[in-house]
Amino acid sequence: MPFSAKTVRFLRRALLGLAGFATVVAAAWLVENVRGQRAWDATLSAYAGRGDPLDVLPAPPPIPADQNFMQTPLLARLALAHFSSPELTAFREEHPLYFFVPTQRNPWDTGKRLDLDALAKEVQTHLAKKRQSTPPESTDSSAARLRSWFDGERPPLSEFRLAALRRPESRLVRPEAPVLGGLFTGGSPSFPLFRHFVTCTSIHASAALAQGQPDVAFPSILAGLNLGRGLSDPSQTLVESMMATVLLRAALQPLWEGMQTRVWSDRHLQRYGDVLSTIDPMGSLAQAVRNERNNVMFLPRSALGPPKDRKVGMPGWFWYCHMPLGWWRQNQVSSVRMSDAPLRVIESCDRPEFRSRLGALNDASEPPSLYNLFANQLLTAYGKVIPNCARTTQALRLAATACALERHRLAHAEYPESLAALVPVFLSAMPRDVITGESLHYRRNADGTFTLYSVGLDGDDDGGVRPADPAVTDGDGDWVW
């Protein structure tokens, strides 16, 4: 049936309207693509011009395998092994304390030693559950039992202890260099594995100290420090950086305990200081932020595919995959720009503006728009990551300074009147407070001890009073050695 003239006119107008609309959409699509590409090209040029290129993942210089603590036979085999790999599965089955996590977390933060009696009961309960049997009663001391469970003369501790004495470097080595867009495809270290190793070395050292054997504790402490150091020299990802902060603070426990009883020799203290001075958690965090930023910039849009196989878990994947290329480029630009704020905070450590910049991090995200749809979702909670890293950095500096103070006492029979007396013999430079950039606070006490501390994240000098709850990073109180 032929259409009426009115219907024909309507259809003609509708088709012309649709064609016009399609032309406008196509033109807008083209304009957005051109604008987005120009913005992205300009961003690439600007960051390359200021020495922070977005199209590289820097690789640290290689270390000879026989000089690298992280290349011991066991670590070379297991450090990057997948959780379900035969090697790691077999290791877990051989070590019943693999998943043991002490309830005492860094008691040195509160000025306390490990409660070895309570710890021995915890370990015994854990082993009883694993073996589904009640272990026989023992008349040995808690320290002796702990040393039997965490035996430094047997693998893996024997391997770590020997390597800590003979291998001066420590850096995680991957079989292949990371590539842009594939940072997470080369495997990542297992936190439970490294936590197990640091737990073993730390408890073994504390037990040896309780038995009056600092020379036995010494290589175990070095091994624990090197396990954390290996993940932060530098960290490739934010996860590795956060893992390193946890491990390093745990490794300090027996070192602190030995200082309280003054059992360390000058040889011990000098070696501790040498290792501690090479660890830079804040610098490592900055590199990890840049690595992840650059990696995301070059993720293919297919990485935001369906939930079953996507690399980046975000809602709204369908729209991200089908947005104009220009919007994708603008999101890349927004993501780069949002990474500037945490990097400015990290790089302002040791300066007075650190606290104010950290406080402004909550404003790092931008008002939602088509140009930052996924950029806002990819923004990490740096307001928590950076303070934890700063606290670990400060803990390492406090430890290195305490080692220098002890060396001064051994050489001169007393602690110095000020930290300036440590330079240049025992320290290369005055130790600074990561929060303020000023010198660490120090005083020599009348009873022959010393007080050494940072003002902490609140910025207030409380005279070396520890916070009521050390777990609260930004609470009242100082960060005290």
Residue 244 within a domain: yes
Residue 394 within a domain: no
Q: pLDDT by residue (tens digit) across 153-207?
A: 999 999 999 999 999 999 999 888 888 887 777 678 999 999 999 999 999 999 9
Verify that 118 and 85 share a domain, yes or no.
Answer: yes
- Among 272, 293, 314, the domain-final residue is 293
Verify that 118 and 226 share a domain, yes or no.
Answer: yes
Verify that 3 and 81 share a domain, yes or no.
Answer: no
Verify that 40 and 90 share a domain, yes or no.
Answer: no
Residue 126 within a domain: yes
Q: pLDDT by residue (tens digit) across 291-316?
A: 989 988 887 666 655 555 545 555 55
Residue 136 within a domain: yes
pLDDT of residue 310: 47
Q: Which residues contact 178 (CB under 8 A, 6 or more apart)?
A: 57, 59, 186, 236, 291, 295
% residues pLDDT > 70 (the chain): 91
Q: What angle do CA 124, 130, 135 make, to 5 degrees?
A: 40
Q: pLDDT by residue (tens digit) across 428-461?
A: 999 999 999 999 999 999 999 999 999 999 899 9
Verify that 240 and 303 share a domain, yes or no.
Answer: no
Residue 367 within a domain: yes
Residue 153 within a domain: yes
Give, for 260, the enclosing helix (H) or strand (E): helix 238-260
State how far the Cα of 306 lies from the Cα of 406, in Å rounded to an integer: 58
Backbone φ, ψ for residue 468 (5° rounding): -60, -35
Residue 29 within a domain: yes
Rg (CA), the chain: 28
Is residue 288 predicted with pLDDT exceeding 70? yes
Verify that 16 and 123 share a domain, yes or no.
Answer: no
Contact 371, 228 (CB under 8 A): no
- Among 380, 395, 413, the domain-final residue is 380
State how far the Cα of 81 lies from the Cα of 174, in Å rounded to an integer: 11
Q: Which domain holds residue 172?
A: 64-293
* Per-position b or e across 108-138, b if 16+ CB within 10 A of its CB: bbeeebbebeebbebbbebbeeeeeeeeeee
State how far the Cα of 343 lies from the Cα of 362, in Å rounded to an integer: 14
Verify that 286 and 308 share a domain, yes or no.
Answer: no
Structure tokens, 206: 């504390």
Between the two ends of the chain, the Cα-to-Cα distance in Å is 94
Is residue 138 predicted with pLDDT exceeding 90? no
Q: pLDDT by residue (tens digit) across 223-279?
A: 999 999 999 988 999 999 999 999 999 999 999 999 999 999 999 999 999 999 999
- Among 339, 358, 380, the domain-final residue is 380
Give, for 452, the enclosing helix (H) or strand (E): strand 450-454
State how far the Cα of 261 lies from the Cα of 254, in Å rounded to an integer: 11
Name the more confident of 454 and 2.
Answer: 454
Verify that 69 and 22 share a domain, yes or no.
Answer: no
State how far the Cα of 414 lies from the Cα of 410, in Å rounded to an integer: 7
DSSP string, 330-373: HHHHHHHHHHHHHHHHHHTTTSTTHHHHHHGGGG-S----GGGT
Verify that 237 and 287 share a domain, yes or no.
Answer: yes
How many domains are contained in the chain? Answer: 2
Residue 422 within a domain: no
